[in-house]
Amino acid sequence: MRDKIYNTIAFRLALWFTGIFAVCSGFAFLLFYYLAAQTLQNQIDRELTDQASKFTAIIHTSGLMGARQLAVLEAQAAGEKLIFFRIVYPTGEVFASSRMSYWENVHISKTALQKLTAQKLNIFETVEIPSTGQKARILYSYVAANAILQTGVAMDVYSKFLSAFKLVFISAMGFIVLFSAVSGRLLVRETLSRVETITRTAQNISGSNLEARVRGTGNKDELDHLVITFNSMLDRIEALVKSIREMSDNIAHDLKTPVTRIRGFAELALVQEESLDAYRSMAANTIEESDRLLDMINTMLIISKAEAGEGDYIFDNINLTAMIEEACELFAPLAEDKRISFSNEIEEGLVVEADIRMLQRAFSNLLDNAVKYTPGGGCVRVEAFMENRTAVIRVMDTGMGIPPEFHEKIFDRFFRVDSSRTNSGAGLGLSLARTIIRQHRGEIYVSGNLSKGSVFEIRLPINNSGII
């Protein structure tokens, strides 16, 4: 349980908040305490020095006897418990003093006297009076050539002030720590409640409920950015899930037809007595449908592999002109059969770095589609040329055209425009073509309008080294 609380960001932030407050105020206290103690001590030292000056003056005018009287009078006037005076010879022998009943435990420090004799500078000491435990500040000072004044003052007031200061500070500190803990907790809770909302939304989202979104506050802070990013991630996931659903619907639909046919042939062979030729033709049809299925599955595998960056491409400098010409020769008779006029204009000497097998596949799909979706009497034209170190291949037809809203979609797996469903096909050709062209760092897109047919354009950079 304790671990659980400690692991919450809210608790740790509040702890940090409080800790930082406590350390800062503690540091401020120590600084103030030191300054106050220093100022008070300086003031006491100044008072003691003033007293010593008085003694120097009186010895100057009235000799040591005058100093003796001054010691008694000054102590009486200020309070014998508060101050004392002792006039001693440099040897440490006492010549005169004020009444010392309260101060008798305060001795003359030999070290202080030696230091004073050596340095000729005032010596200050802070001592504890053994009988009362209170502190006193002592000054040793030369007041005449052979007379040293030892004077001391009780530091009661000073100590009381500092104790009061400590008490005030400790109470204030307690309040500050409490205040920072409470305010830190509130602040953190307010911030983290928004994170909580995001977490709750994420928890609510399941496969069937992808519509949930987190509402931003609109104040464009970090959490608002997180909300925007989170929501746009959800948008993308939703679109992805939708396209996966569509794709699996399409796969199911497209696999169903050949499988149903194969089943039909098998059923027919089972229930009807037929001639050997008829059985052979059924077996041939079954093989044909199975090949179609296998072809679809293989194409899907190639696309998936290439998308995952695992395609086994072999790049080489290839004669693009020759490759296009060969493919055109292959498709020209098919076009002729459909009474489609087929023409081409291919620049000589086009060379690109490519996998020839794959590029052939991509290009054949375009030619196949152009012939397939163009009715008799139409035209198919192929153009290829070099433009800024990019080989451009265009396949143009005067066929049924593609509605502009599907110009992107037709490259999705299994997508087919409804009007073309009467033609054979599985909706994989363009998807494969795009995957191959992208593997060559190229682009493929379609333009054209419905009434005038379609224009497919492939743009291939001539150099692909280091891509795969």
CB of 188 to ligand ADP, least distance (A): 54
Determine if 321 is a binding residue for ligand ADP (CB under 6 A). Answer: no
Determine if 428 is a binding residue for ligand ADP (CB under 6 A). Answer: yes
Of 21 and 342, which has the nearer Cβ to ligand ADP? 342
CA distance 142 to 172: 46
| Bridge partners of residue 148, in order along the sequence | 88, 142
Q: Which of 402, 436, 437, 444 binds ligand ADP (CB under 6 A)?
A: 402
Q: Which of 112, 282, 352, 370 binds ligand ADP (CB under 6 A)?
A: 370
Q: Give exposure, 294-319, as e/b (b: 16+ Cβ within 10 Å).
A: eebeebbebbeebeeeebebebeebe
Give the CA distances from residue 362 to residues 147, 197, 324, 337, 358, in Å, rounded to whole numbers and listed in that order: 115, 48, 11, 23, 6
Which pair of structure tokens corresponds to residue 264?
């039909």
Residues 6+ apart with CB under 8 A from 302: 311, 432, 435
DSSP of 442-460, one letter per residue? -EEEEE--TTT--EEEEEE
Of 74 and 397, which has the nearer Cβ to ligand ADP? 397
Determine if 397 is a binding residue for ligand ADP (CB under 6 A). Answer: yes
Site for ligand ADP in 31-50 (CB under 6 A): none
| Bridge partners of residue 88, in order along the sequence | 94, 148
Q: Which of the ranges 80-88, 95-103, 211-219, 399-407 carries the binding residues for ligand ADP, by CB under 6 A?
A: 399-407
Q: Which of 180, 286, 365, 439 binds ligand ADP (CB under 6 A)?
A: 365
Residue of minimal Cβ distance to ligand ADP: 425
CB of 403 to ligand ADP, least distance (A): 9
CB of 331 to ligand ADP, least distance (A): 12
CB of 299 to ligand ADP, least distance (A): 10
Determine if 84 is a binding residue for ligand ADP (CB under 6 A). Answer: no
Of 54 and 407, which has the nearer Cβ to ligand ADP? 407
Of 135 and 361, which has the nearer Cβ to ligand ADP? 361
The 3-state DSSP class for residue 87 equals: strand
- Check: CB of residue 68 under 8 Å from CB of residue 95: yes
In terms of Cα–Cα distance, which of 28, 37, 29 is closest to 169? 29
Determine if 431 is a binding residue for ligand ADP (CB under 6 A). Answer: yes
CB of 190 to ligand ADP, least distance (A): 53
Determine if 379 is a binding residue for ligand ADP (CB under 6 A). Answer: no
Determine if 394 is a binding residue for ligand ADP (CB under 6 A). Answer: no
In terms of Cα–Cα distance, which of 372, 377, 374 is closest to 425? 372
Of 116 and 371, which has the nearer Cβ to ligand ADP? 371
Determine if 59 is a binding residue for ligand ADP (CB under 6 A). Answer: no
Site for ligand ADP in 406-425 (CB under 6 A): 410, 416-417, 420, 425
CA distance 410 to 336: 26
Determine if 184 is a binding residue for ligand ADP (CB under 6 A). Answer: no
Of 221 and 295, which has the nearer Cβ to ligand ADP? 295
In terms of Cα–Cα distance, which of 301, 302, 384 is closest to 349? 384
- Check: CB of residue 415 under 8 Å from CB of residue 434: no
Determine if 258 is a binding residue for ligand ADP (CB under 6 A). Answer: no
CA distance 363 to 460: 12
CB of 406 to ligand ADP, least distance (A): 7
Of 262 and 428, which has the nearer Cβ to ligand ADP? 428
CB of 248 to ligand ADP, least distance (A): 17
Determine if 399 is a binding residue for ligand ADP (CB under 6 A). Answer: yes
Angle between helices 356-372 and 320-337 (to 10 degrees): 30
CB of 420 to ligand ADP, least distance (A): 3
Angle, CA 372 vertex, CA 367 and CA 378 arms, to 5°: 90
Q: Which of 332, 430, 436, 458 binds ligand ADP (CB under 6 A)?
A: 430
Determine if 427 is a binding residue for ligand ADP (CB under 6 A). Answer: yes
For 228-340, strand residue ranges (E) read 316-319
DSSP of 391-437, one letter per residue? EEEEEEE-SS---GGGTTGGGSTT---GGGTTS---S-HHHHHHHHH
Determine if 373 is a binding residue for ligand ADP (CB under 6 A). Answer: yes
Amino acid at 305: K
CB of 397 to ligand ADP, least distance (A): 5
CA distance 453 to 401: 4
Using CB under 6 A as the criterion, which residues of the chain lie in contact with ligand ADP when the complex forms? 365, 369-370, 373, 397, 399-402, 410, 416-417, 420, 425-431, 454
